[in-house]
Amino acid sequence: MYDWLIVGAGFAGSVLAERLATQHDARVLVIDRRPHIAGNAYDCPNEAGVLIHQYGPHIFHTNSESVFDYLSAFTEWRPYEHRVLGVVDGREVPIPINRTTLNELYGLSLATEEEAAAFLATRAEPVARIRTSEDVVVSVVGRELYEKFFRGYTRKQWGVDPSELDKSVTARVPTRTNTDDRYFTDKFQAMPLHGYTKMFERMLDHPNIVVRTGVDFVDIRDQVDFRQLIFTGPIDEYYDYRFGRLPYRSLRFEHVTLDKEWHQGVATVNYPQTEVYTRITEYKHLTGQSHPKTSLTYEYPSAEGDPYYPIPRDENQEMFRKYQMLAKDDPDVHFVGRLATYRYYNMDQVVGQALATFKRIDEMTRMRPAM
């Protein structure tokens, strides 16, 4: 008999397992249909001994001190600030677009933020109501830079034109008039010193937590005795696709190891104009590992395969809301995480969501009379 069954051993499931076991002394069973814990953040040494991320590059960054402090109980950190170059018009230039990008691309010598802002202002197209992923870029950098940096990449990544995607997607990537070439500007930017999987192992290492991998919820739901459920898989799957399938975008990862020490100058190189893949990531930049070989991942977007990205569009959000209404009538089931709440969340946002869910459960438990 378990107090909780938790479906999914990613951030959402593992944070809640840890909280419930340590703070409520609850007996928790965590299952995952994959053969490992850590969800999409899973990392492992490959056959050459290079630490890679099996489901594409995961870079930790957050402005939330409470999320960073919480995870710090399970890992030490390696300070790391992510840098990305894009191959545009045959040159490698910084992404997000910054003053260096503009100077290199157009042979300019813009020297101040004001000059860069004035340059962009001459190109920006006013948009009355910023609604789509096209609007949000075109209104800041104009159509030419939008085409060079965003249109092709987004069509590859999402299988639709940016004009058909919510503005929140491309709004993730800012435009800068300074020369800051970091991908993120968050207060905390670091990688788990010994990798994500080790951090998850420590999170789940508690006598009250039982972990079973390679186990699908549908195969055990009637065989396990549990009081309450936390579900971190796709919510439409949980409800047997009653209102149709929520669209998720997938990726195929091609992992390659080369017999040389380094392949590219920064961790990630984006290909917004050419190639079928969107980006190449070289892991040793992220992990700081010393190794005579180097391992890379090419990301090929795809409609088929594991669900990785909820697709932010109004019509999808409408379908999700129908599932959310069903969930309201299931008070003993908690839907948490990127797939179960159909939100394009980063890792820190999922940790924050899981901690907030625990707080709600905690308050409810205190209000209920003891069983």
Cα–Cα distance for residue pair 163/292, rounded to 1 Å: 44
Closest CA to 91 of 255, 285, 265, 260: 265
Could you tell me the smallest distance in angstroms from the CB atom of residue 171 to ligand FAD? Answer: 16
Q: Is 8 in the site for ligand FAD (CB under 6 A)?
A: yes
**Could you say which of 11, 283, 342, 358 contacts ligand FAD (CB under 6 A)?**
11
272 vs 337, beta carbon nearer ligand FAD: 337
Q: Is 96 in the site for ligand FAD (CB under 6 A)?
A: no
Size of the site for ligand FAD (CB under 6 A): 33
Binding string, 214-233, against ligand FAD, x = CB under 6 A? Answer: --xx--------------xx
State which of positions 273-332 bind ligand FAD (CB under 6 A).
308
State which of positions 47-66 bind ligand FAD (CB under 6 A).
55-59
Cα–Cα distance for residue pair 248/306, rounded to 1 Å: 8
Q: Which residues bind ligand UDP (CB under 6 A)?
A: 86, 95, 149-150, 153-154, 157, 169-170, 172-173, 270, 272
DSSP letter for 163, please. G
Q: Is 254 in the site for ligand FAD (CB under 6 A)?
A: no
12 vs 137, beta carbon nearer ligand FAD: 12
13 vs 301, beta carbon nearer ligand UDP: 301
Q: Which residues of 5-43 are buried (b: 16+ CB within 10 A; e: fewer)?
A: bbbbbbbbbbbbbbbbbeebebbbbbbbebeebbbbbbb
Helix (H, G, I), strand (E, B) or coil at 87: strand
Cα–Cα distance for residue pair 55/76, rounded to 1 Å: 22
Q: What is the DSSP string of 305-353?
A: SS--EE---HHHHHHHHHHHHHHHT-TTEEE-STTTTT----HHHHHHH
Question: For binding to ligand FAD (CB under 6 A), which residues are involved?
Answer: 7-13, 31-34, 39-41, 55-59, 216-217, 232-233, 251, 308, 337-339, 345-348, 350
